[in-house]
Structure 1
Amino acid sequence: MSHTGADALLKYEQAVDDLLFFRPRVLDTATSVLAASPRSVMGHVFLAYLGVLGTEEKDAAAARPALARFRSGLDEDELTPRERMHLAAATAWLDGDVHGAGALLGGITTDHPHDALALFTGHQADFLTGNAPRLRDRVGGALGAWDEDDPHRGPLLGMYAFGLEESGHYERAEQVGLAALARHPHDVWGIHGVVHTYEMRGRFKDGVRFLDARSEDWAHGTLLTVHNWWHYALFALESGDTARVLEIYDASLHHQGSSAVAMELLDASALLWRLYLARNDQSARWNRLADAWESRGVGAHYAFNDTHAVMAYVGAGRVTEAERLVRDRQRWAAGADPRVSNRDMTAQIGLPVCRALIAYGKGEYDKAVDLLLPVRDRLNAFGGSHAQRDAVQRTLVEASLRARRTGLARTLLSERIQLRPVCPYNWSAQARLEEALGDPVRAAASRERAAAQASA
Structure 2
Amino acid sequence: MFCNWRDCQEYRSLGLPLSTTSNEACKLYDATLTQYVGWYDDDSMGGLENCVAQMLSADPQFVMGHVLKNGLDLMGTGRSVALDTDFKRDIDAMVTLSDSGPINQREQLHVQAIKLWADGQMRSACDKWETILVDNPLDMLAIKFAHDAYFYLGLHPQLRDSPARCLPNWKPSMPLYSDLLGIYSFGLEETNLYSQAEKVARQSLEMKKQSAWSTHTLCHVMEMEGRQNEGIGFLSRTLNDWTKCGMLACHNFWHWALYHIEKNEHQGALDIFDTEIAVSLKKSGAMLDVVDVCSLLYRLELEGIDVGSRWNDTFEIIRPHVEDHILAFNDVHIMMACLGSNSKEIVQKMMDSLRGFIRDGSGDNHDLTRDIGMPMCEAFLAYDEGDYGKAVELLLPLRYDVIKIGGSHAQRDIFNLLLIHAALKSDIAEHKKLARHLLMERKALKENSPMTDRLIAKAMATHVD
* TM-score under structure 1 length normalisation: 0.92
CA contact (8 A) 2:388 2:425 kept: yes
Q: Cα distance, 1:127 vs. partner?
A: 0.6
CA distance in 1, matches of 2:328, 2:282: 26
CA contact (8 A) 1:283 1:316 kept: no
What amino acid sits opposite 2:74 in the alignment? V
Aligned residue for 1:454?
Answer: none
CA contact (8 A) 2:302 2:421 kept: yes
Aligned residue for 2:447?
Answer: 421
CA distance in 2, matches of 1:341, 1:332: 12
What amino acid sits opposite 1:348 in the alignment? D
Alignment partner of 1:381 out of 390, 399, 404: 404
- 2:239 corresponds to 1:215: yes
CA distance in 2, matches of 1:75, 1:364: 55
What SS is found at the alignment partner of 1:144? helix
What SS is found at the alignment partner of 1:317? coil
- The number of aligned residues is 437
Moved more, 253-262 or 304-313: 253-262
CA contact (8 A) 1:192 1:228 kept: yes
CA contact (8 A) 1:276 1:315 kept: no
CA contact (8 A) 1:63 1:94 kept: no
- Alpha-carbon RMSD: 1.9
- 2:152 corresponds to 1:128: yes
- 2:359 corresponds to 1:342: no
- 2:412 corresponds to 1:395: no
CA distance in 2, matches of 1:283, 1:162: 35
CA distance in 1, matches of 2:217, 2:210: 13
CA distance in 2, matches of 1:76, 1:165: 43
C-alpha distance after superposition, 1:250-309 (max 9, x if no partner): 111114944433221211110011111122122311222223322445432221111111
CA distance in 1, matches of 2:395, 2:182: 33
Alignment partner of 1:276 out of 278, 294, 301: 301
What SS is found at the alignment partner of 1:254? helix
Aligned residue for 1:17?
Answer: 34
C-alpha spacing 1:59/1:19, structure 2 compared with 1 (3 Å):
farther
CA contact (8 A) 1:306 1:350 kept: yes
- 2:355 corresponds to 1:330: yes
CA distance in 2, matches of 1:371, 1:177: 38
What amino acid sits opposite 2:52 in the alignment? A
CA contact (8 A) 2:143 2:163 kept: yes
CA contact (8 A) 2:116 2:125 kept: yes
- Trace 1:412-451 onto structure 2 (pairs within 5 A): 412-437=438-463
Alignment partner of 2:324 out of 277, 282, 299: 299
CA distance in 2, matches of 1:59, 1:257: 24
What SS is found at the alignment partner of 1:113? coil
Aligned residue for 2:377?
Answer: 354
CA distance in 1, matches of 2:462, 2:310: 32
Aligned residue for 2:116?
Answer: 92
C-alpha distance after superposition, 1:158-203 (max 9, x if no partner): 0011111111001111111011111111111111111110001000
Alignment partner of 1:367 out of 377, 390, 401: 390
CA distance in 2, matches of 1:236, 1:110: 43
- 2:141 corresponds to 1:117: yes
C-alpha spacing 1:76/1:421, structure 2 compared with 1 (3 Å):
farther
CA distance in 2, matches of 1:74, 1:152: 27
Alignment partner of 2:79 out of 57, 73, 84: 57
Alignment partner of 1:195 out of 210, 219, 229: 219
Give the % identical residues: 32
Q: Cα distance, 1:415 vs. partner?
A: 1.3
Alignment partner of 1:38 out of 48, 54, 60: 60
C-alpha spacing 1:334/1:4, structure 2 compared with 1 (3 Å):
farther
CA contact (8 A) 1:12 1:33 kept: yes
Alignment partner of 2:253 out of 220, 229, 233: 229
CA contact (8 A) 1:161 1:176 kept: yes
CA distance in 2, matches of 1:132, 1:307: 20
C-alpha distance after superposition, 1:367-411 (max 9, x if no partner): 000000111101111111111110111000111111142221122
CA distance in 2, matches of 1:391, 1:10: 42
